[in-house]
Amino acid sequence: MKKTTDKNGGAKKYGPHTKPYQYYKSSKPEGAAAKPASGIGSNEILKEIATSSRTRDIIRKHGFTFKKSLGQNFLINSDVLDQIIAAAGLDETRGALEVGPGIGSLTERLAKAAGKVASVEIDKRLLPILEDVLSPYENVNVVHSDILKTDLQQLWKEQFSGLAGVSVVANLPYYVTTPIIMKLLEERLPLENIVVMVQKEVALRMAAKPGGKDFGSLSIAVQYYCEPELVCIVPGKAFIPAPNVESAVIKLKRRLEPAVSVPDEAKFFQVVQTAFAQRRKTLANNLAALSGKDRKGELADLLLACDIKPERRAETLSLQEFARVCDALTRSGMLV
């Protein structure tokens, strides 16, 4: 893995963004899974990063200190990595986008499973560590950037052109999980799967069915674009440092078409957000924020015409029912 810059000597930049994106890039042709580079001792190659001893050695060697503000927890459980890689369905013709590689425990596995890996890391202190530990793998690019400020369409063209498919595979920072997931989905990237480690409660919300306490606006947003599947629950002891909460790996299989057909996605999600604004209120009371209190009677009739009782709560509605409500509100002029 070699450090590269643009032809003018500066760090690469994507699209309209002014933030520099620095690479550690290999010269190996794309389309073949990584093989360890020659000249590396066999013991070093075989000693996996995702162990307590190797992780602590790497941290000591580089004098790394954790930043709580970045939600840094390094995975040290090989069995969990096995399940992540299996769920991702990678091969030599496919690529993987990783968000927050940390010291490279998952990156190492991705390099062995995929034809190309691009890992986006916000913490510049980790770049020399990644350059060191990933040096045996010739198909990994590390991009120094904030994923939420990255032009992902341009990154796709730069990193994954010509591949049969690309999946996002990552141990996500918990404090920005939802913004990252929504950015990946809303940008309509040509994704196959999103396989991510998140806080358990968030995974349960993504996979929740209507009628349960975990079902909410996040459930609908994710299930509109994807089919969720809970892969495994991960205890805190699987990380260094150990978080105070349980984690979970969830697989989001991208749908070829959204789960429901709506004429205006922005209006659909506006209705969803409004319906869940106060969970203890009825659907009619929450949606009155859109129709106006003077039209509550008309709103109740509209819901009944959609075969939905006004006293129901938002968490009991299916995606199909939300689509009907959105369409009816739009046609009535209550939603503009």
Query: What are the tens digits of pLDDT across the range 101-113?
Result: 999 999 999 999 9
User: pLDDT over 90 for what percent of the chain?
Assistant: 80
Q: Which residues of 64-77 are buried (b: 16+ CB within 10 A; e: fewer)?
A: beeeeebbbbbbbb
Do 215 and 99 belong to one domain?
A: yes
11 pLDDT above the threshold of 60: no
SS3 percent helix, strand, coil of the chain, rounded to 5, is 45, 20, 40
User: How far from each other are the two terminal CA atoms of the chain, in whole angstroms?
Assistant: 52
Of 232, 254, 276, which residue constitutes the final position of a domain? Answer: 254
- Is 311 within a domain? yes
At residue 117's C-alpha, the angle toward residues 111 and 122, to 5°, is 115
> What pLDDT is attached to residue 44?
46
CATH code of the domain covering residue 73: 3.40.50.150
Give, as one character, the DSSP assignment of residue 232: E
Do 243 and 323 belong to one domain?
A: no
Shortest CA distance to 92 belongs to which of 30, 174, 179? 30
CATH code of the domain covering residue 282: 1.10.8.100
**Chain segment 230-283, per-residue pLDDT in tens:** 999 999 999 999 999 999 999 999 999 999 999 899 999 999 999 999 999 999
Do 237 and 271 belong to one domain?
A: no
Binding residues for S-adenosyl-L-methionine: 73, 75, 100, 121, 146, 171
**Chain segment 296-309, per-residue pLDDT in tens:** 899 999 999 999 99
- Is 117 within a domain? yes
Do 297 and 174 belong to one domain?
A: no
Which of the two residues, 212 and 18, has the higher pLDDT score?
Answer: 212
Give the pLDDT band of residue 133 (cuts 50, 70, 90): very high
How many distinct structural domains can be found in the chain?
A: 2
Peptide bond into 173 cis (omega under 30): no
- Is 260 within a domain? no
Binding residues: 73, 75, 100, 121, 146, 171
Do 20 and 120 belong to one domain?
A: yes
- Is 7 within a domain? yes
> What pLDDT is attached to residue 1?
62
> What pLDDT is attached to residue 291?
84
- Is 178 within a domain? yes
Look at the block and give the residue holding tokens 């990237």: 189
- Is 276 within a domain? yes
Do 222 and 283 belong to one domain?
A: no
Do 249 and 308 belong to one domain?
A: no
Do 320 and 217 belong to one domain?
A: no
Do 156 and 302 belong to one domain?
A: no
27 pLDDT above the threshold of 90: no
Strands, DSSP E only, in 10-88? Answer: 22-25, 74-75
Say how many C-beta atoms besides its own lie within 10 A of residue 278's C-beta: 13
Do 201 and 284 belong to one domain?
A: no
Instruction: Determine the Cα–Cα distance for residues 13 and 151; give it in Å rounded to an integer.
Output: 9
* Structural domain range at position 106: 2-254
| The two structure tokens encoding residue 134 | 């990933």
Of 192, 223, 254, which residue constitutes the final position of a domain? Answer: 254
> What pLDDT is attached to residue 33?
52
Do 274 and 216 belong to one domain?
A: no
Contact 25, 141 (CB under 8 A): yes
| Cβ-proximal residues to 266 (8 Å cutoff; 6+ apart), any chain | none
- Is 259 within a domain? no
Q: Find the mean pLDDT for residues 13-39.
A: 38
- Is 155 within a domain? yes
**Chain segment 216-232, per-residue pLDDT in tens:** 999 999 999 999 999 99
Which of the two residues, 14 and 263, has the higher pLDDT score?
Answer: 263
Of 196, 226, 254, which residue constitutes the final position of a domain? Answer: 254
**Chain segment 148-192, per-residue pLDDT in tens:** 999 999 999 999 999 999 999 999 999 899 999 999 999 999 999
Do 280 and 248 belong to one domain?
A: no
> What pLDDT is attached to residue 71?
80
**Chain segment 47-69, per-residue pLDDT in tens:** 899 999 999 999 999 999 888 77
